[in-house]
Amino acid sequence: MQNAPGPLVVGVFSFAQKYVMPVTPLTARLAAGTALLAAVACTSIKPSTFATPVDTGPRTATVAFYNLENLFDTQDDPKTNDQDFLPGGALQWDDARYRAKLTNMASVLEQLGSPSGPDVVGLCEVENRKVLEDLVRQPAIASRRYQIVHFDSPDPRGIDCALLFKPDRFVLGTSRALPITLPDTTMGTRDALVVSGQLNGETIAFVVNHWPSRRGGRGESDQRRRAAADQVRKLVEAQTAVNPQARVLLMGDFNDTPLDSSIVGHLKATYDIKNLRDGQLYNAFYDYQVRGLGTICYRQKCDVFDQMILSPGLCGNDGLRYQAGSANVYKPERMQSQEEKYKGEPLRTFGGKKYLGGFSDHYPVYLTLTK
């Protein structure tokens, strides 16, 4: 284990098991005949009009997801296509802009979901572990001593998924990268990140996603997201086959809406939390799409690409469970563009190649789990 500067100790991970199972006596017995996934924890470490605000206390936990939109450092990585994010690159990405980006991201995490910020937060579009270490050291959130789970992915641009968590609320058990194989290309894409452990004393697995983009058009890219959905669905089924009440929370930028076939048909995520049948999952952000509220906007049309999807084990009345009405999109005015043409849309870091000094092209989402 290697000590990082400051309060962080970077975790070293090993993995061989194909799927992460909940920690129960049954899975312990099953593990005797399978390879185990092991992980060494790194130690550092305006709600919408229809959502119901909740207070985060000892029996509740705030879980969030945020696409950070290209959180790159200023150093060249010869293994990835990061040329635009260099001091001499197309975006003139220098230390001042990098530091401003870190400050902005930390200011969102400072109060995202509750005055004390999220207990667990999934992230995507981060270049490497270094940018995460720099992020958790920002003055606005340093006192929380967020710990980091991260693996490098085969994405050509080098952007990855990650998870941050407060060590006094979540005890890390296992973690691994789940490779996502695309059906029509050998080009690498972002791995899903699978992390399990104990949240407020209850076993739960988080799966952080960043599915293939719509670049190239819907017809060309739809099959890639459907393939990603099938692979994540297989992971969920492996967990619930061992324990039908396994608590699994999927979060991420799915690059599809809650109404698209990858989510509804392949992932089997629905809006009806009271009538989950045949292995269906509950999409806590379905209503946002139906009501025309979005987490991302393109050509003045907003959609919900950023979602949180729950297994039936999180939708019951006992133990750790979803608190109805707590799913929310975080979009205070300071994170919104004030230009007339883009008013209300996310204030991003760049508009094309024009530096705007904003936050991200996505709004973050969050919800509350209670027990």
Nearest 5 degrees, angle CA 142-CA 75-CA 154? 90
The predicted structure's pLDDT at residue 58? 55
- For 287, the token pair is 């209503």
Number of H helices and E strands in the chain, helices first, is: 6, 22
- Beta-carbon contacts of 119 under 8 Å, excluding residues fewer than 6 positions away, are 56, 61, 62, 63, 165, 166, 169, 170, 199
Alpha carbon of 148 to those of 133, 196, 278: distances in Å? 8, 13, 35
Total residues belonging to the chain? 371
pLDDT digits (tens, 9 = 90+) for 206-257: 999 999 998 877 777 999 999 999 999 999 999 999 999 999 999 999 999 9
pLDDT digits (tens, 9 = 90+) for 169-184: 999 999 999 999 999 8
The predicted structure's pLDDT at residue 13? 33
pLDDT digits (tens, 9 = 90+) for 320-349: 999 999 999 999 999 999 999 999 999 999
The predicted structure's pLDDT at residue 26? 37
Poorest-confidence range of 27-36, 111-120, 163-172?
27-36
Confidence check: pLDDT of 44 > 80: no
Identify the burial level of 206 via C-beta atoms within 10 angstroms of its C-beta, where 0-12 means exposed, 13-18 middle and 19 or more buried.
Answer: buried
CA distance 87 to 29: 54
CB atoms within 10 A of CB 332: 12
pLDDT digits (tens, 9 = 90+) for 253-306: 999 999 999 999 999 999 999 999 999 999 999 999 999 899 999 878 999 999
- Beta-carbon contacts of 27 under 8 Å, excluding residues fewer than 6 positions away, are 21, 242, 243
The predicted structure's pLDDT at residue 300? 82
